[in-house]
Amino acid sequence: MDAGMIGLPGTICQLIVIQTIGYASDKTDIRRIIFVGLVLSTLAVWNFSSFNLNTGYDDLVWARVYFSISISFLAATVNTVAYYGVPPERRY
């Protein structure tokens, strides 16, 4: 039960941010969005490196939120870039 409660806020943030990034990817260079996602992912994973057995619940929740936001920058944009060279009739 606790693991689900730690992941829930991050999932809600990811739900909101991935839609915003999907909209922004139509108006912005995707390489910039991917770069921001990589930088945020690096910072989020670096935040995980300070955990130990005494890490509190709030620290775990916020770390999951940061990581979910950073993954949102990568999920939609990398899938979009993967389909750039594929003709529309071969995408399914």
- What tens digit of pLDDT does each residue of 54-69 get? 999 999 999 999 999 9
Whether residue 78 contacts residue 41, with contact meaning beta carbons closer than 8 Å, is answered with: no
Cβ count within 10 A of residue 61: 16
Domain that holds residue 52: 2-82
Q: What is the DSSP letter of 87?
A: -
- What tens digit of pLDDT does each residue of 31-59 get? 899 999 999 999 999 999 999 999 999 99
Residue 87 lies in a domain: no
Residue 11 lies in a domain: yes
Residue 47 lies in a domain: yes
Instruction: Say how many domains are in the chain.
Output: 1
Which residues, other chains included, contact 26 with Cβ-Cβ below 8 Å and sequence gap of 6+?
Answer: none
Q: How confident is the model at residue 80 (pLDDT cuts 50, 70, 90)?
A: confident
The whole-number pLDDT of residue 81 equals 84
Residue 19 lies in a domain: yes
Residue 22 lies in a domain: yes
